[in-house]
Amino acid sequence: MAGGGSVTNGPDGATAALIYGFSGIVFLKPKGVLSNYSPGTVTNYGMINGTGYDGVLMYFGGRVTNGASGASGALISGSSDGVDIRKMAGTIVNFGRIAVTGDDGIYLGAGGSVINGAPSATGAVISTTYAAGVRSLGGIVSNYGTIAGGRRQIKQAFFSSYKAAPSPTGPPVRRARWSPGTTALRRTSRPTSISPITARSWGQTAAASTWLAH
Q: Does 80 reside within a domain?
A: yes
Q: Does 142 reside within a domain?
A: yes
Whole-structure pTM value: 0.76
Q: Does 23 reside within a domain?
A: yes
pLDDT of residue 160: 31
Per the structure, the count of domains in the chain is 1
Task: Quote the mean pLDDT of the chain.
Answer: 75
pLDDT of residue 189: 33
**What residues does 198 pair with on adjacent strands?**
140, 163
Q: Does 166 reside within a domain?
A: yes
pLDDT of residue 164: 33
CA 99 remoteness from chain centre: 10
pLDDT of residue 69: 86
Beta-carbon contacts of 33 under 8 Å, excluding residues fewer than 6 positions away, are 3
Q: Does 212 reside within a domain?
A: no
Spans in the chain with pLDDT lower than 50: 158-194, 207-214
CA distance 196 to 72: 30
pLDDT of residue 165: 34
pLDDT of residue 171: 35
| CA geometry: angle 189, 192, 194, nearest 5 deg | 100
Positive/negative CA dihedral, 123, 85, 19, 23: negative
Residue 80, domain extent: 5-206
| 5-to-8, 10, 28, 41 alpha-carbon distances in Å | 10, 16, 10, 6
Beta-carbon contacts of 9 under 8 Å, excluding residues fewer than 6 positions away, are 17, 18, 19, 42, 43, 44, 45, 46, 47, 48
CA 166 remoteness from chain centre: 22
